[in-house]
Structure 1
Amino acid sequence: MTEITHRFVRSGSGLRMHVAEAGEGPLVLLLHGFPECWYSWRHQLTALADAGFHAVAPDQRGYARTGGPAEAGRYSILHLAGDAVGLIDALGADRAVVAGHDWGAPVAWAVAQMRPDKVRGVAGISVPHRPRSSGPPVEAMRRLFGEGFYMVRFQQPDVPEAELGRDPAATFRRMFYGVSGDGPASPMIAPEGGGLLDVLPEPEKLPRWLTDDDIATYVEEYAGSGFTGPVNWYRNLDRNWELTAAWHRAPIGPPALYIAGDRDIVAVGARAAIDSMTDFVPNLRDTVWLSGCGHWTQQERPAEVNEALLAFLRSL
């Protein structure tokens, strides 16, 4: 059985990053989302390695064993894309295929847009590429969804991480179940006077793709650094809009793949952007929809995600 190994690598950005890796061959960088870590790619690391690739899943800035700086301003998209580009160099590769899920997808799209010379191909899972909007996003989301919407709520100091960190096992159970293909597809809007976890029910039993051992692993991985770093990504949404003016509506040139579940609240809500993605991602090779799959795509449907990723990799 292919072994997943672990080490720390100093990215060219200066951040000491924990990576999980397997295999040898062309580099495939796997970027996780929120609230995840390298472990969300456990099924892909071995499958890609067995197919002849060097699969690497870092804990991104602020997460798990990597941790990160205390200042919220050091979690901008330029920092995150810089970490990924620096990691490609630190791993001894000239270029990589960069795949990202959830928050990892915008990072992957940004790397492909800003540094196409480093990218053989890009795969976005759940979150499509969205061209830069005409104005800062947080106020727009506040008008559409209210103060309770999780991205708006995460702008508050201290409150979100305190709620998420109070009982990490319950947080992971509720979040992974609540917006999965097995859950109620919560809109992630906290009720007035309540918290985000109030709209994410405790599952009577875990879905078959998620075990008690998986939950325990996430709790252990988060024990050192907690939730502040991950939430800081959201605290840079408006700043990201300011910092990316130079790439306003710039196309993404490398070959691309998009994968999503048809029960993923993120993908369902972004259907217009997905349908028009070739306007800004002209080399989009394929869009793969997974029936009955929710937000945690590569964990819920590992075999189908592996098949789609490998077909894309072999086409490059």
Structure 2
Amino acid sequence: MSRRHLRREHAGAEFELLVRDEGPPDGPVALLLHGFPQHGGLWQGCLPGLHELGLRTLAPDQRGYSPQPQPRDVEAYRLGPLVADALAVLDDVGAQRAVVVGHDWGALVGWALAAHHPERVRGLVALSVPHPHAFGRAIREDAEQQQLSDYFGLLRKEGTAERVLLGDDAAALRRFFEGGSLTADAVQDYLAPMLSEDGLRGPLSWYRAMAGPELAAVPRISVPTVYVSAEHDLGVGRAAAQWCADYVDGPYRRVDLSGTHWIVDEEPDVVVRAVASLL
């Protein structure tokens, strides 16, 4: 595995993104964007299948998740800079277009990238999180989604969230994975970089930066899209999943699974098949 260190800048201060670069170096690119609370190693179970498709995979630890120091200003975690990071990962290897695969917050970046820069996106696979207009609509109108998203309020409280999540050997942070089939070792691997206030600040800044207007600014999607949802997702309810199609103008397919939010860990073959359908 090759690890690239991509230099970025915010407010005059430099930081780096760690990018896992694997697969055929001359192959078409798949850009793999993780969410919370995970990192770019999330995609390990998908890589053999993606490489068999001839794809070169780029899996960054996104802004706030890469090795310290990372930006401390919440403004650095608005959607525009996050999309710019994704484009920079592609530009760094000279990739004009990519299949974009995103899970959780990574799916949100994928939706925005496809909406604002469709010429760079060959196709989008969005895992768990639907188009942000569908998600925002569900938060406004659907009681189930309002309950599922109630934890956002805590995560947006700077200082308080860090103390709550890290207390008692990060018990509250570990509870995010409850209901899934991940092993204790897998959970520990994901959480290891965030088991300090400094390590957790960046990931939580995504929640603090993503207010309603930020999500509402994402236009409709025209690129070919596969959206994968899970019946027992404790973060995204059925209304949001059903409404996703209303905001996609291009070819669209929804895949419904019986599992949990942790689609990439539990169903890596589903992810590979979704990508293959866009090639």
TM over 0.5: yes
Amino acid at match of 2:270: E
State the partner residue of 1:152. 153
Q: Cα deviations across residues 96-151 of structure 1 (Å, max 9, x unaligned)? A: 1111101111110000111112111111100010328999x79x99xx559x9211
State the partner residue of 1:29. 31
Q: Cα deviations across residues 41-78 of structure 1 (Å, max 9, x unaligned)? A: 11122321232101111111101436521111211011
State the partner residue of 1:58. 60
Of 190, 194, 210 in structure 2, the residue corresponding to residue 237 of structure 1 is 210
State the partner residue of 1:282. 249
Q: Do 2:6 and 2:17's aligned partners in 1 also have CA atoms closer than 8 Å?
A: yes
SS, match of residue 58 in structure 2:
strand
Matches within 5 A, 1:7-156: 7-10=4-7, 15-24=15-24, 25-65=27-67, 68-131=70-133, 144-145=146-147, 149-156=150-157
Of 188, 201, 209 in structure 2, the residue corresponding to residue 228 of structure 1 is 201
Q: Distance in 2 between matches of 1:168 and 1:52?
A: 42
Which structure's CA Rg is the greater one? 1
SS, match of residue 20 in structure 1:
strand
Unmatched 5+ stretches in structure 1: 181-206
Matches within 5 A, 1:128-207: 128-131=130-133, 144-145=146-147, 149-166=150-167, 170-171=171-172, 173-176=174-177, 178-180=178-180, 207=181
State the partner residue of 1:299. 265
Q: Distance in 1 between matches of 2:53 and 2:208?
A: 38
1:66–1:17 distance in 2 versus 1, CA, 3 Å: farther
Amino acid at match of 1:283: G
- When the two chains are superposed, the root-mean-square deviation of aligned CA atoms in Å is 3.0
Structure with bigger helix share is 2
Q: Cα deviations across residues 238-269 of structure 1 (Å, max 9, x unaligned)? A: 2x615864x5xx321111111121111334x1
SS, match of residue 8 in structure 1:
strand
Q: Distance in 2 between matches of 1:220 and 1:156?
A: 22
1:11–1:96 distance in 2 versus 1, CA, 3 Å: farther
Structure 2 residue 229 is the aligned partner of structure 1 residue 260? yes
SS, match of residue 270 in structure 2:
helix
1:235–1:304 distance in 2 versus 1, CA, 3 Å: same
Q: Do 1:22 and 1:54's aligned partners in 2 also have CA atoms closer than 8 Å?
A: yes
Q: Do 2:224 and 2:278's aligned partners in 1 also have CA atoms closer than 8 Å?
A: no
Amino acid at match of 2:113: V
Q: Cα deviations across residues 262-296 of structure 1 (Å, max 9, x unaligned)? A: 111334x1x334333333212243111112x1001
Amino acid at match of 1:47: G
Amino acid at match of 2:207: Y
1:307–1:167 distance in 2 versus 1, CA, 3 Å: farther
State the partner residue of 1:198. none
1:242–1:8 distance in 2 versus 1, CA, 3 Å: closer
Amino acid at match of 1:44: C
Q: Distance in 2 between matches of 1:212 and 1:273?
A: 30
Displacement of 1:11 after TM fit?
5.2
Displacement of 1:237 after TM fit?
2.2
Q: Distance in 2 between matches of 1:48 and 1:237?
A: 31
Q: Distance in 2 between matches of 1:86 and 1:75?
A: 15
SS, match of residue 226 in structure 1:
helix
Amino acid at match of 1:18: L
Give the aligned length: 270
Amino acid at match of 2:59: A
Amino acid at match of 2:154: R
Q: Distance in 2 between matches of 1:309 and 1:168?
A: 37
Amino acid at match of 1:115: H
1:263–1:145 distance in 2 versus 1, CA, 3 Å: closer
Amino acid at match of 2:44: R
Displacement of 1:309 after TM fit?
2.4
Provide the identity percentage. Answer: 36
